[in-house]
Amino acid sequence: MDRRRFLLTSLAGVLAAPLAAAEGKQAGKVYRLGILSPGGVPDPEVATAPNLVPRHLRELGYLDGGNLILERRFADGNIERLLGLARELVKLQADVIVTAGADATQAARDVTATIPIVMVTALDPVARGWVASLSRPGGNMTGVTTVAETVLAAKRLELIKEAAPRSARIAVLAVAGPGSRAQMREAQKAASPLRVTLIVVEVVGGDYDRAFTTMVAERADAVLVLMSPILTRDHKQIIDRAAKYRLPAIYEWRDHVEVGGLMSYGSSLVELSRRAAAQVDKIFKGAKPADLPVERPTKYELVINLRTAQALGLTIPPLLLARADQVIE
């Protein structure tokens, strides 16, 4: 080989080496994803954002223990723990933090202005000052919001009243926090025109037996279950007690009706979590949360379980059945 060819070959090798190294580093990148929730560790089979987001990321090629490290933090219903847990995720240098619910989102925002946050929340992120606008969030936050579903607390109250028209006293199952308070305000607005009295029952320490015995003592005729990561996680306990005390109840997610709940009206948690996972994927690949619009549901579904209605001795009005998107028989 002559000297000129040798120099050209050597130079090409020198130039190619950093590119190959960079490509190899990118291909071997391991991402650290933090997940922050006010609830406890959910059963793996329960449809919650902390379960669903990693599941959808697997579909996008991210494998926990491979190119993805999952750091999940749960407050077990103790909202005051969220700040400390959020700080743990910051200390671990998470590439992205996914937050379930308003309290977790606020905690993450309070501890970092640099790590991208992908929220799954029911509150209006613009009104809370988390983002500049839904289309152009700015800052380090984006995600999905079911903000309209705060207003849907009133719609759900109307639907449970229509399903059980003799209901004069309706219990509202809630947890502490701004998300429940916003929903209760909307439900209160709808209560007077419907001629119903609301009985607000707040779950403390996961004591659902006490919550339902309180409802019975207060002569509740039906139950409106508010949106909450904690109540979503514990939906099986709620459904079992509603059946035990023969109380018609309406839920947020269709998944709850598929496992024995009476009825639900809302969007799809599976679809919302899929969208959140897609945003995490984009951020991993270099997108900035400031440029990723906050997404909202495009469809709401009414689902009714006739088997549960029959077990409760409840006849669902034909007009309501006709409006249902799905009837489980």
Query: Which tens digit of pLDDT belongs to each residue from 50-70?
Result: 899 999 999 999 999 999 999
Q: Return the pLDDT at 152.
A: 85
Q: Who has greater pLDDT, 282 or 47?
A: 282
Q: Who has greater pLDDT, 237 or 181?
A: 237
pLDDT-based confidence at residue 203 (cuts at 50, 70, 90): very high
Query: In sequence order, what are the beta bridge partners of 151?
Result: none
Classify residue 61: in a domain, yes or no. Answer: yes
CA distance 324 to 329: 13
Whether residue 159 is found in the same domain as residue 170 = yes
Q: Return the pLDDT at 268.
A: 82
pLDDT-based confidence at residue 149 (cuts at 50, 70, 90): low
**Are 290 and 137 spatial neighbours (Cβ–Cβ below 8 Å)?**
yes
3-state secondary structure 26-46: HHCCCEEEEEEECCCCCCCCC
Residue whose token pair is 């977790």: 104
Q: Return the pLDDT at 24.
A: 35
Q: What percent of the chain has pLDDT over 70?
A: 90
Contacts of 16 (CB under 8 A, 6+ apart): none
- Residue 112 region, left (φ>0) first, then alpha (ψ -120 to 50), else beta? beta
Q: Return the pLDDT at 12.
A: 42
Classify residue 185: in a domain, yes or no. Answer: yes
Whether residue 183 is found in the same domain as residue 305 = yes
Query: Which tens digit of pLDDT belongs to each residue from 2-46?
Result: 444 433 444 344 334 333 333 333 457 999 999 999 888 877 877
User: Of the candidates 273, 260, 271, which has an alpha carbon nearest to the alpha carbon of residue 303?
Assistant: 260
Give 276's DSSP letter. H
3 by Cβ neighbours in 10 Å (0-12 / 13-18 / 19+) ranks as exposed
Q: How many CB atoms lie within 10 A of CB 218?
A: 13
Classify residue 21: in a domain, yes or no. Answer: no
Query: In sequence order, what are the beta bridge partners of 37?
Result: 74
Whether residue 123 is found in the same domain as residue 213 = no
Rounded to an integer, the average pLDDT of 190-219 is 95
CA distance 255 to 235: 10
- Residue 139 region, left (φ>0) first, then alpha (ψ -120 to 50), else beta? left
Classify residue 182: in a domain, yes or no. Answer: yes
Classify residue 247: in a domain, yes or no. Answer: yes
Whether residue 181 is found in the same domain as residue 274 = no
CA distance 234 to 211: 13
Whether residue 112 is found in the same domain as residue 259 = no
**Are 292 and 270 spatial neighbours (Cβ–Cβ below 8 Å)?**
no
Strand-strand pairing, 249-251 and 222-225: parallel
CA distance 288 to 291: 6
Classify residue 217: in a domain, yes or no. Answer: yes
Rounded to an integer, the average pLDDT of 156-167 is 96
Rounded to an integer, the average pLDDT of 119-140 is 90
The identity of residue 236, as a single letter, is K
Residue 147: pLDDT above 70? no
Q: Return the pLDDT at 93.
A: 96
Number of domains in the chain: 2
Residue 251: pLDDT above 60? yes
Query: Which tens digit of pLDDT belongs to each residue from 269-320?
Result: 888 899 999 999 999 999 999 999 999 888 889 999 999 999 999 999 999 9
Query: Six-digit token pair at 296?
Result: 């909202």
Q: Return the pLDDT at 150.
A: 60
Task: Tell me which residue range forms the domain holding 62.
Answer: 29-146+269-291
85 by Cβ neighbours in 10 Å (0-12 / 13-18 / 19+) ranks as buried
Give 250's DSSP letter. E
Whether residue 165 is found in the same domain as residue 223 = yes
Rounded to an integer, the average pLDDT of 172-197 is 90
Classify residue 24: in a domain, yes or no. Answer: no
Whether residue 173 is found in the same domain as residue 273 = no
Q: What percent of the chain has pLDDT over 90?
A: 68
Whether residue 273 is found in the same domain as residue 261 = no
Contacts of 6 (CB under 8 A, 6+ apart): none
Whether residue 107 is found in the same domain as residue 59 = yes
Q: How many CB atoms lie within 10 A of CB 124?
A: 17
Whether residue 142 is found in the same domain as residue 96 = yes
Whether residue 65 is found in the same domain as residue 157 = no
Q: Return the pLDDT at 212.
A: 98
Q: Return the pLDDT at 27.
A: 54
Compute the mean pLDDT over every residue in the chain, rounded to the nearest whole number.
88
Classify residue 16: in a domain, yes or no. Answer: no
CA distance 182 to 102: 11
Whether residue 127 is found in the same domain as residue 203 = no
CATH number of the domain that residue 131 is part of = 3.40.50.2300
Rounded to an integer, the average pLDDT of 200-214 is 94
